[in-house]
């Protein structure tokens, strides 16, 4: 089609005006500032790991199979008087009734919901304590897959002397005062109530919860609390989601030192010690340091086959 001269001129003028308009258009607004300034937000970069916990069939399968394996081990351990999951206990322990020690968060109670919300809200590190305490106060965490069935089955078992298996929950949920609440440790009340909603009540439940800060010596390091249990009970199994649930003095160690500690107790894993996977947070993440890029680019720093080859 051939355009007349006036039409061609009009098109050229329109194009010229459009180009000029683009040239003088105000620049796009800058990205909004980070809510936490230069500091990273809490759980930054944890989208995939949180989604894996919340949505994958794989997580449910591995958690349930871990608890089933633990129950099988318990059947053997409760009947053997020299069997203990606590390295400080030695010799014939037949005089002591059987017990299991378990972590709470990401071992019995699933806290992926607040983790997801903190990612969506870009929660700052300084806000974490209040956000976390509000979640604990809701008393509504669901169970980690397999945990309820394991605890119920374990409590129904007895040792050869007819003594039932008692379960102690050693948790770093921390005792702290709360406005409008007279309790010295409302977090203990909340955790007990949460366990009851899952059908995990027991006559000794309040005493079974060993909360960080409940006693002055009960700090983040859990050994003092395991030793308290070991004075009166033979610890048959230990179940947790962090290396520090099993071993002392590993919480702030390097990746290689932590892995050497794992290998030094290689025979315990899957027999007396049972680990629930938690890719969302933990002392493993602290060991990597703040630079995720450098950690990705570097060598893993872990031992292949614990040097058995």
Query: Beta-carbon neighbour count of residue 171 at 10 Å?
Result: 25
Residue with tokens 């809200």: 121
Q: What residues contact 78, with CB distance under 8 A and at least 6 apart?
A: 98, 157, 158, 159, 165, 236
The closest alpha carbon to 148, from 113, 204, 108, belongs to: 108
Q: What residues contact 218, with CB distance under 8 A and at least 6 apart?
A: 210, 211, 212, 224, 225
End-to-end C-alpha distance for the chain, whole angstroms: 80
- Do the beta carbons of residue 123 and residue 133 sit within 8 Å? no
Q: Chain-centre distance of CA 78, in angstroms?
A: 27
What CA–CA distance (Å, rounded) separates 45 from 32?
19
pLDDT for 22: 41
pLDDT for 31: 53
Radius of gyration of the chain, Cα coordinates, nearest whole angstrom: 27
- Domains in the chain (CATH in brackets) are 40-307 (3.40.50.1000)
Alpha-helical (H) ranges within the chain are 5-24, 47-55, 57-77, 112-121, 128-138, 147-155, 186-197, 205-208, 223-230, 255-264, 283-288, 292-297
pLDDT by residue for the chain (309 residues), tens digit each?
333 444 344 433 343 334 344 444 445 555 556 678 777 788 888 999 999 999 999 999 999 999 999 999 999 999 999 999 999 999 999 999 999 999 999 999 999 999 999 999 999 999 999 999 999 999 999 999 999 999 999 999 999 999 999 999 999 999 999 988 889 999 999 999 999 999 999 999 999 999 999 999 999 999 999 999 999 999 999 999 999 999 999 999 999 999 999 999 999 999 999 999 999 999 999 999 988 889 999 999 998 889 775
pTM above 0.85, yes or no: yes
What CA–CA distance (Å, rounded) separates 177 from 181?
7
């Amino acid at each position: 089609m051939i355009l007349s001269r006036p039409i061609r001129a009009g098109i050229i003028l329109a194009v010229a005006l459009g180009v000029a308009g683009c040239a003088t258009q105000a620049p796009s607004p800058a990205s909004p500032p980070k809510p936490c300034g230069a500091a990273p937000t809490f759980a930054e970069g944890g989208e995939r790991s949180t989604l894996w916990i919340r949505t994958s069939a794989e997580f449910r399968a591995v958690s349930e199979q871990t608890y089933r394996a633990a129950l099988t081990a318990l059947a053997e351990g409760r009947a053997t008087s020299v069997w203990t999951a606590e390295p400080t206990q030695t010799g014939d322990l037949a005089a002591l009734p059987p017990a299991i020690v378990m972590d709470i968060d990401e071992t019995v109670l699933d806290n992926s919901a607040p983790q997801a919300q903190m990612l969506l809200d870009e929660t700052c590190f300084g806000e974490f304590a209040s956000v976390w305490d509000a979640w604990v106060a809701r008393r509504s965490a669901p169970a980690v897959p397999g945990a309820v069935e394991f605890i119920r089955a374990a409590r129904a078992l007895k040792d050869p002397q007819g003594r039932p298996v008692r379960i102690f929950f050693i948790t770093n949920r921390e005792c702290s005062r709360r406005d409008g609440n007279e309790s010295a440790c409302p977090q203990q009340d909340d955790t007990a109530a949460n366990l009851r909603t899952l059908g995990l009540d027991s006559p000794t439940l309040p005493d079974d919860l060993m909360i960080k800060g409940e006693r002055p010596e009960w700090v983040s390091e859990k050994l003092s609390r395991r030793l308290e249990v070991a004075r009166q009970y033979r610890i048959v199994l230990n179940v947790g989601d962090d290396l520090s649930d099993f071993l002392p003095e590993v919480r702030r160690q390097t990746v290689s030192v932590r892995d050497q500690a794992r290998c030094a107790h290689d025979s315990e894993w899957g027999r007396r010690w049972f680990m629930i996977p938690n890719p969302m947070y933990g002392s493993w993440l602290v060991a990597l340091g703040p630079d995720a890029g450098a950690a990705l680019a570097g060598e893993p720093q872990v031992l292949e086959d614990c040097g058995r080859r």
